[in-house]
Structure 1
């Protein structure tokens, strides 16, 4: 049973680069969307708040798998054009999905900053942009860190879904190996669990560090 472990590892590890690249790109995209959408939901302009709310609720309220299928298959069929490669579709779908969730983290963190800080910055004749950049966001960032760490782990796990649209990540290679070695299916997926856990370890560590920083910031 264990004799095949080295072969399985060598086979599935072919998708390691794809998995990590999609995670890094999707995480970066989701962070950008989080700040854009989160701050737009605090805008004084009604139409901006409305458009952003539609984006957030749509991507929070629909399945990531369905979003992947729509971008990869449904939209090209309806419009007759290919939006992008499967790799980019995975990045876009995951980034938009988790960006919607993280935007709420940004919004609530900004709102939770003590109102006295805003009043003091107004008294100093700071513009709205200056208040946000110099006073509110630095304090809100501390509050965001734990949730950003937790959602980063979720993003990593979400990358496993891209195999459903043909992206050659580690799960894709695991499925291919299992399909030709059915008796070793349990071992294949056990090894995949271990690989995902190993990749997630730095994120777990950073998440805990973020919690400590947030608590420290709250105490000072």
Structure 2
């Protein structure tokens, strides 16, 4: 029994790493998504081209290769990262590329009359985006952002390939030490499901809260 609790404690330690990866990776992905998404609708060709290149590169290449590049190739260029830093950077940039298209699509989905109203009120382009367009677009983004966060949570399992002791890594350790496959992998299966459920509940709560105040930002 004590051995079982010891192995469960090992997996829970990995769960903490998974949560850290998910939170930090999601924050990075959100920042990058807005930067690249706004870049995609910029009036400047160079900005649009740069944002498009980033998005297509990270959507068009394997996350495994991206992670290996960040952890094994960047040190050759003089940029050394810890496994946690490499995991956050790799996951954040990958998921951020998908999030950028969500941002772009939501902005373009706002009716033209909203932009015309901004012009009528003599709002600058930045004021229009910040006060009118983005508050409405964010409500459209939230469900997909929630899905992206869950995908990032599940993708954290790949960091075990760079020896970061997340849940999947620890489950593999327990399997190798005990010879049991059922206990460690059922445990992390349940933990992934619980974490994904918490993300879903959080996003839905935020969506309801924002929806209540949406009428206040329309012009």
- Structure 2 length as normaliser, TM-score? 0.90
Q: What is the Cα deviation at residue 5 of structure 1?
A: 4.8
Q: What is the Cα deviation at residue 214 of structure 1?
A: 8.1
Q: What is the Cα deviation at residue 82 of structure 1?
A: 4.1
Task: Answer yes or no: is the 8 Å Cα contact 1:143–1:214 preserved in 2.
Answer: no
* Superposition map of 1:46-57 within 5 A: 46-57=45-56
Task: Answer yes or no: is the 8 Å Cα contact 2:75–2:81 preserved in 1.
Answer: no
2:35 alignment partner in structure 1 = 36
1:25 alignment partner in structure 2 = 24
2:181 partner SS: helix
Q: What is the Cα deviation at residue 127 of structure 1?
A: 0.7
Q: What is the Cα deviation at residue 76 of structure 1?
A: 2.6
Query: Is residue 92 of structure 1 aligned with residue 92 of structure 2?
Result: no
Deviation digits for residues 36-61 of structure 1 (CA, Å, limit 9, x no counterpart): 00001111110110011000000011
2:194 partner SS: helix
Counterparts of 1:85 and 1:3, CA distance in 2? 33
Counterparts of 1:92 and 1:15, CA distance in 2? 19
Query: Is residue 196 of structure 1 aligned with residue 192 of structure 2?
Result: yes
2:7 alignment partner in structure 1 = 8
Counterparts of 1:60 and 1:167, CA distance in 2? 24
Structure 2, gaps ≥5 residues long? none
1:83 alignment partner in structure 2 = 80
Q: Which of 158, 161, 174 is matched with 1:161 structurally?
A: 158
Counterparts of 1:94 and 1:19, CA distance in 2? 12
Task: Answer yes or no: is the 8 Å Cα contact 1:146–1:210 preserved in 2.
Answer: no
- Structure 1 length as normaliser, TM-score? 0.90
Q: What is the Cα deviation at residue 66 of structure 1?
A: 1.0
Aligned residues: 215
Counterparts of 1:11 and 1:210, CA distance in 2? 33
